[in-house]
Structure 1
Amino acid sequence: MKKVLIFFSMVLIMLINSCIKEPPPQHIQANILGITVDDPAYVQTNDVGSTYSLVFSEQVDATAVAPIFSLSPGATISPASGEPQDFSSPVTYTVRSESGNEREFTVQLIGNITLIFDFEDWVVTNPFAAEGRPDIEVPQMADPLWASTNYGVATGLGQINFGQYPSLDEYSTKPTQDSHSGNYAAQLTTIHGGSIIGVTRIPFIPGNLFRGNYAFSLSDPSGSLQFGIPHPSNLGIPIKFKGFYKYQPGEVFYGEGEVIDDNRIDEFNLYAVFFKVAKGELGAAEFLNGHSIRNEQHADYSKVVATAILPDNTAKDSYTAFDLDFEYLQEVDFEANDYKLTIVALSSKEGASYQVAPGSTLIIDDLEIVTDLFGN
């Protein structure tokens, strides 16, 4: 009888223990996954590091914008999602994870989209500050609709050099006082890269600047380039791309990998592309990238509506003017499609395949997209 009681006691303890479950682990992520705004003038959100830019096609009342946030599972945000804020100046949001981790993000408003670019305004940021990374200085355009691979350069060269991050002068894209007008222009220079342990090898990094967004991926550098800024109908139909540039190719040209080819001279790229995307929210997530933007064999190239491509990519010792007509491949129909526009500048036009001359330098200034507001 005693053995029977012991047996049933053990069974009862096992049943009780089986009913007591450990609480599920709390989520530790404190991230913003997406932002939208319930306003017909809102077109998209751009993010660079811990800074988000709400882009509107026209001026809006900046004192009462109510962004709606998508967050990591279990996370909360302050100020609250959907609560109107005064965006006359950037607003700081704090995201708190379920486990108590906190991160701060800056959200700013862009009230209209300009088509004239003088490259006067630059800022120095640390995109990794919210992650507790070292104090890293990265140059970028103050207009967040311009992007470059500078953040990738910071991460990649930081790994290559075992935590020694580039100084401001060492980036492939930066401001220069060698300007056509005003105080500054944009300087793009092809620089040496290296091997990133356990990830990939990036021997060279061309200087680049483009209208769009940079979604850093070491495994797919060309796919990281998200070309295109919304171009609503009130901006008109692009008809000309104009501006000024100068170019000096590097002294020694490298072929595939590090095979030296003494017979080639590096060239640059400078062009604008106007392309269609789906209407509404679906179109906001559509871009062209480094694989598709100039590749007529790529499926996404069918989105291209018009291009304006500088044909002369050779050396120019002094500032040279250009004035290009957009060549249209398709009709424009703002009722059926939304549209995006990008400008792309690259110091070595075959940089994706690392066929470059280190030191090749392209300087651009006073760019402009001219549009026809009436479609004539």
Structure 2
Amino acid sequence: MKALVLSGGEGSRLRPITHTSAKQLVPVANKPVLFYGLEAIAEAGITDVGVVVGDSEAEIRAAVGDGSRFGISVTYLRQDAPLGLAHAVLIARDFLGDDDFVMYLGDNFIVGGITDLVHAFHSHRPAAHILLTKVSDPTAFGVAELDVNQHVVRLEEKPQIPTSDLALVGVYMFTTAIHEAVRAIEPSQRGELEITHAIQWLVDQGRDVRATTISGYWKDTGNVVDMLEVNRSVLETIEPACLGEVDADSDIVGRVRIDEGARVIGSRVVGPAVIGAGTVVSRAYIGPFTSISEGCRIQETEIEYSIVLRDASVVGVRRVAASLIGRNVEVTPAPRVPFEHRLVLGDHSKVQICS
């Protein structure tokens, strides 16, 4: 069995972070989201992995390399434009050959991995096996209807009037039947070849399409709110460790990992939290569910429930919460000018101001 990991896409919901960084490489607990998926694939015993890349190809290649660090062998497959998940299957035809495969969206996060699901697929080998989870707003997802035997009878992409609350999770398992399906469908109204349409084609042809509804934790980390929530979930599982330096005037409370070369000076860190290699935390408070990447400077600041990417500095800011701070960012207090706000914002930014 092979794996097809989708790591293209523009990440528009994470702008401006994704103007300069691939969304799949935004870190959760200081490890890129994509890496969790690659590790889950390796744990399931799959070693031959095709990674579909787009404009961020160079960055993905630099981060993943040949895959040996994960115990897999990676082949990079270029998708020149984001033309849909089914289009990704089309361009991967030569790589996939006649093998069964799992398709994994690189910005998805599933607690517990996919090993049991892959084994179940091997046992029955339906034409397609999809994962579902109950969501509060099905209009934002592909939605499935099931019969009493948990077989798929209908799929619809982002329906205005959903017929169920079962959304497709970004992990799919296919036999070679999917190759005929992706060739048979036409682009949707948004100009993409939808994988939901391809799976529906299999259903209409009488092929065996099954589903598993997962009760564990799943998130599509395509926006800041979900990214912070995944970070919270992962931090709750970290093992506390101190590989850096903590002075006598500092307090470390709960699950906290301090990586090599990091220094905590006159500060209080309340876990779960992680402090990256080479980061300096000075006269600051780091609150729960916070990930500070490597090479950062956090000084005279309170920050919690946030993700700070590498080489960023937050100095002299009274309080920061529920934030995603990009690489090489500098956050400092604004001059005290009455009755005005001075802003320098990237394209597509969202700002909340108390006036």
- TM > 0.5 fold call: no
More helix per residue:
2
- Name the structure, 1 or 2, with higher relative contact order (CA <8 Å, separation 6+): 1
More strand per residue:
1
Q: TM-score, normalising length from structure 1?
A: 0.27
Mark the structure with the bigger radius of gyration. 1
